[in-house]
Amino acid sequence: MHTFRSAIEARDVDALLDQLSPGVVFRSPVVFREYAGREAVAPILRTVVQVVEEVVYTRELGGDGAGETQALVFSARVGGKDVEGCDFVTLGEDGLVEEVVVMVRPITAAIALAEAMNAAMSEVHPCP
């Protein structure tokens, strides 16, 4: 999981996208639906890198083999709020990331994340 973690800590979206399976599924704590496919996930990750600051992974739990899920516990800041969270990452047989599920706390941090993501995404994809 070192390359996935390193790409996020380095804020290197291109390296991060290289780690994703073409059919990756991404679940965010601030939307009700999942995003499926690298093309759908890419703008989300680019926006995350813009709005989430000071990401530091504090623990890695679980396996990192094919079909196994590893939990990457992190701390960060969003809109001046401290965030604690966990990325649950599942690898495929080819070593690429097939699924990412993000959890964050406390609720005020989740709200700050949702607001920051919505604002940044509306700049990229404004509503008519």
15-60 per-position pLDDT tens digit = 999 999 999 999 988 877 899 999 999 999 999 998 999 999 999 9
Neighbours of 38 (CB within 10 A): 18
- The domain ranges of the chain are 2-124
In DSSP terms, 70 is beta-bridged to: 62, 89
Contacts of 86 (CB under 8 A, 6+ apart): 71, 72, 73, 74, 102, 103
Which CATH code for domain 2-124? 3.10.450.50
72-118 per-position pLDDT tens digit = 999 999 988 999 999 999 999 998 999 999 999 999 999 999 889 88
The dihedrals phi and psi of 2, each to the nearest 5 degrees, come to -55, -40
Decide: 33 and 59 in contact? Cβ < 8 Å: no
For 123, half-sphere exposure in the C-beta direction (CA atoms, 13 angstrom radius) is 10
